[in-house]
Amino acid sequence: MDSVVDTIDTPPIARICGEPLLEIPQDLYIPPDALEVFLDTFQGPLDLLLYLIRKHNLNILDIPMAELTQQYMSYVAMMRADQLELAAEYLLMTALLIEIKSRMLLPSPKTETEPEHDPRAELVRRLLEYEQMKKAAIELTELPQAGRDFNIIQLWFDQQSTEQLPNVHIDDLHHAWIGILTRAKVNRHHQIKRESLSVRAFMSKILRDLRNRHQVEFQDLFSPAATVSEVVVTFLALLELAKELLVEISQSHAFGIIHVRSISST
Amino acid sequence: MSAPSHPPDPLTTTSSPLSPDTIKQILEAALLTAQEPLPLSELRKLFDQQFNAAMLSALLEDIRRDWNEKSVELVKVASGWRFQTKPEIQPYLDRLTPQRPPRYSRAVMETLAIIAYRQPVTRGDIEEIRGVSVSASVLKTLTARGWIESVGQRNVPGKPALFATTAHFLNDLNLNSLEELPPLEEMKSLIGQDDQNQVLPLEQSHLATVETQSRN
Amino acid sequence: MSAPSHPPDPLTTTSSPLSPDTIKQILEAALLTAQEPLPLSELRKLFDQQFNAAMLSALLEDIRRDWNEKSVELVKVASGWRFQTKPEIQPYLDRLTPQRPPRYSRAVMETLAIIAYRQPVTRGDIEEIRGVSVSASVLKTLTARGWIESVGQRNVPGKPALFATTAHFLNDLNLNSLEELPPLEEMKSLIGQDDQNQVLPLEQSHLATVETQSRN
């Protein structure tokens, strides 16, 4: 350590309160090349002050201001000597420390309104509050942290596999239909006639049957299980299809087999 | 899974060899947390290449069996191994991501209504009733949904396709037949009384049935 | 765990009521695939609100026990339930991801601590406590991680933003609420045994406030 100190040249490395500082104070010496690292380890003037107080076992409730100020200024001088980029807050703190020190030297002005006030109180409050947060930060860092100490599980799954399709309720259909009718009524463009739904349904059914088979026998259009009304409706549907020229009904001879053929599929 | 007599310290890999159970645990954890399927080459890194691919493969097959009864399965895909949910669980999981159920446009709904109530109809019929042209995408939407299909062509110039609703449409709307569609009662008020008289007696009885059903 | 007096509505008309085992399977699948911790309210959606929270809680505890021996555990954090790997498995998993998440600097962690314990606070408040200016990058780091957010503005000139921690912060630190944060060290213990005999030069009122806050 001493050998390193010796390498420092005689010109004062700084002036504190006008007094030249010829060498770095022994008790807080750090190798110059480590200074920057050292400075980085401090989060600011409060951190540095706390370090000094704790290192020298100073009573935080009765800080010897002269001693602390001198220590602190040595550091700041050192940092400036090495032309480290020094946060302005360090210099501001120097001013504050000197102010507190000088106020303590003065006889406290006994005013009627204010009780005796320790000029160090605010500094102590800030130091303690900072220390509290500093320790809280260390504890927070030690808490298990997602991604660092454990991993969160999130399995791959295909959210696209079931595409949501619009839901249609029969009432929606009904409303759509009413909408059409209302518009139609307003426009008076065409007259909508009431038609039997079931005939229309059976027309579709017959066409669907014919689509694949091209031609069927008339009797095959009627399901053996069909009710009377189904038979009638099927027959009506067939007639309607014939009227709309969608099917062709043919009979080669009297009482022969009646063939139903889809015209559309030709 | 039986606990080893003294728990192996997973940190000190060099001192005590890992038990197959611990290796499986580590494999599981890696596969459950991985963002991508993990190939064997990656999985070997977990143990600093200590175990060969064959051994890890055997353990992976073991894990696959362990998970057999679960809702999540270990599968081997092109780029490696991964856990994934079984398809049968999907409908439940979908409830957590409620994309607001999409709705069909008015054009789609009206077209569907016309086809349902007036089938079989051509595109021209639909356009005439709606008073506006029907875009191809509307019919495509309904066809893709499996709700309508072409059941033939009308024998007029251009042979336009005739559309009808499908059995799938009835299923999806929880209907047994088209007669269960809501009766168009409101038409009475919309259409003149004259039209009413044209209804056949037969259809009256049919309608009565429909109306009873619709009240269910 | 008592079964509902009448069998719950089956999910679909065809399926039979779900067995507890199946419910657990579905819960597991949902929790294993979720991007965020799932609260009970979300988990109930899996079953169309069919089961009450108490029943699902009991099953979740069951699942937690089922996984006890595994390298993966079910935990409850601020936003709900989630699966995560146990810390002892991390050294293995780290081998798969060469770039470790950055250890946050003291500046970041102190800023985070001040926001966590003193929220809501402005940047000025943080600077006053730390005695140095807070760089924008520190707040940006914490915001980007989703740990802090601006929750409003203080009604003073300049309208500085007020910062608070998020639920995501609690989740990432395995916490259910801010009350689970490590308690702040008492001022008394910071002052030290020897110091305590001294007359406090502190403004008493101030200290009292601080200690009250630390108990929150």
Give per-residue pLDDT as tens, A169-195: 888 888 888 888 777 666 554 444 454
Contact assignment for B178 to A181 by CB distance below 8 Å? no
Which of residues 97 through 136 in chain C touch A, CB cutoff 8 A?
A: 100-101, 103-104, 106-107, 109-110, 112-114, 116-117, 128-133
Task: Using pLDDT thresholds of 50, 70 and 90, give the confidence band for residue B60.
Answer: very high
Residue ranges, CATH 1.10.10.10, chain C: 20-90, 103-199
- Partner residues linked to A132 by β-bridges: none
Query: Closest-CA residue in chain C for A116?
Result: C201
Contact assignment for A177 to B196 by CB distance below 8 Å? no
Contact assignment for B152 to A210 by CB distance below 8 Å? yes
ipTM for this prediction:
0.62
Least confident of A96-105, B173-182, C26-35: B173-182
Residue B57, pLDDT score: 94
CATH code given to domain C20-90: 1.10.10.10
Report how many Cβ contacts below 8 Å link chain B to chain C.
Answer: 82
Least confident of B20-29, B78-87, C45-54, C191-200: C191-200
Name the more confident of A72 and B179: A72
Contact assignment for C85 to B32 by CB distance below 8 Å? yes
Residue B18, pLDDT score: 86
Query: Closest-CA residue in chain A for C108?
Result: A137
With 60 as the cut, is the pLDDT of residue B187 above it? no
Residue A16, pLDDT score: 53
Q: What percent of chain C has pLDDT over 90?
A: 62
CA distance A215 to A203: 15
With 80 as the cut, is the pLDDT of residue A1 above it? no
Burial A30-61 (b: 16+ CB within 10 A, else e): eeeeebeebbeebbbbbbbbbbbbeeeebebb
Residue C116, pLDDT score: 95
Residue B30, pLDDT score: 94
Nearest-neighbour CA in chain C from A146: distance (Å) = 5
DSSP 3-state assignment of A169? coil
Which chains reach chain C with 3 or more Cβ–Cβ distances below 8 angstroms?
A, B
With 80 as the cut, is the pLDDT of residue C68 above it? yes
Which of residues 43 through 72 in chain C touch B, CB cutoff 8 A?
A: 45-48, 69-72
Read off the pLDDT of each residue in B81-105 and give the average, rounded to a whole number: 83
Residue C182, pLDDT score: 93
Which of A114, A129, A162 is the best mutation test for C, with the most CBs of C within 10 A? A129
Task: Using pLDDT thresholds of 50, 70 and 90, give the confidence band for residue A19.
Answer: low
Read off the pLDDT of each residue in A3-12 and give the average, rounded to a whole number: 40
Q: Do B193 and B126 meet the contact criterion of CB atoms below 8 Å apart?
A: no
Residue A110, pLDDT score: 59
DSSP 3-state assignment of A156? strand
Fold category of C103-199 in CATH: Arc Repressor Mutant, subunit A (1.10.10)
Residue A39, pLDDT score: 66
Read off the pLDDT of each residue in A34-61 and give the average, rounded to a whole number: 81
Query: Closest-CA residue in chain C for B72?
Result: C29
With 80 as the cut, is the pLDDT of residue C31 above it? yes
Q: Do A21 and A13 meet the contact criterion of CB atoms below 8 Å apart?
A: yes
Read off the pLDDT of each residue in C98-103 and give the average, rounded to a whole number: 76
DSSP letter (8 states) at residue C87: G
CB-CB: which of C33, C38, C95 is closest to B46?
C95
In angstroms, what CA-CA distances link B57 with A82, B39, B40, B41, C189?
A: 61, 10, 8, 11, 57
With 90 as the cut, is the pLDDT of residue C80 above it? yes
Residue C29, pLDDT score: 93
Question: Is the entire prediction scored with pTM above 0.80?
Answer: no
With 60 as the cut, is the pLDDT of residue C5 above it? no
Cα A35-A41-A46 angle, rounded to 5 deg: 110
Residue A108, pLDDT score: 63
Residue A3, pLDDT score: 38
Least confident of B140-154, B164-178, C104-118, C154-168: B164-178
- B69 burial via Cβ count (<10 Å: 0-12, 13-18, 19+): exposed
Q: Which stretches of chain B are DSSP H helices?
A: 20-33, 40-45, 53-66, 90-94, 106-118, 123-130, 136-144, 167-172, 187-190, 193-196, 201-214
Among the listed residues C154, C143, C83, the one whose alpha carbon sits nearest the alpha carbon of residue C120: C154
CB neighbours (10 Å) of residue C47? Answer: 18
Among the listed residues B191, B43, A260, A224, the one whose alpha carbon sits nearest the alpha carbon of residue C92: B43
Residue C44, pLDDT score: 94
With 70 as the cut, is the pLDDT of residue C15 above it? no
Report how many Cβ contacts below 8 Å link chain A to chain B.
Answer: 183
With 80 as the cut, is the pLDDT of residue C99 above it? no
Read off the pLDDT of each residue in B174-188 and give the average, rounded to a whole number: 73
Least confident of A77-86, A112-121, A160-169, A188-197: A188-197
CA distance A178 to A184: 10
- For chain A, the first-to-last Cα distance in angstroms comes to 109
Name the more confident of C61 and B211: C61
CB-CB: which of B3, B70, B96 is closest to C42?
B96
The 3 state secondary structure assigned to A249-264 is EEECCCCCCEEEEECC
- For chain C, the first-to-last Cα distance in angstroms comes to 35
With 90 as the cut, is the pLDDT of residue A10 above it? no
Q: Does B67 touch chain A (CB under 8 A)?
A: no
Phi and psi torsions of B82, nearest 5°: -155, 155
Which of B25, B85, B88, B184 is the best mutation test for A, with the most CBs of A within 10 A? B184
Read off the pLDDT of each residue in A259-264 and give the average, rounded to a whole number: 80
CA distance A100 to A123: 9
Which tens digit of pLDDT belongs to each residue from B115-137? 998 889 999 999 988 888 888 88
Residue A139, pLDDT score: 93
Which tens digit of pLDDT belongs to each residue from A208-250? 888 777 788 888 888 777 777 788 888 888 888 888 888 888 8
Contact assignment for B118 to A264 by CB distance below 8 Å? no
Q: Does B26 touch chain C (CB under 8 A)?
A: yes
Nearest-neighbour CA in chain B from A253: distance (Å) = 26
Which of residues 141 through 170 in chain C touch A, CB cutoff 8 A?
A: none
Q: Does C182 touch chain A (CB under 8 A)?
A: yes
CB-CB: which of B33, B145, B206 is closest to A153?
B33
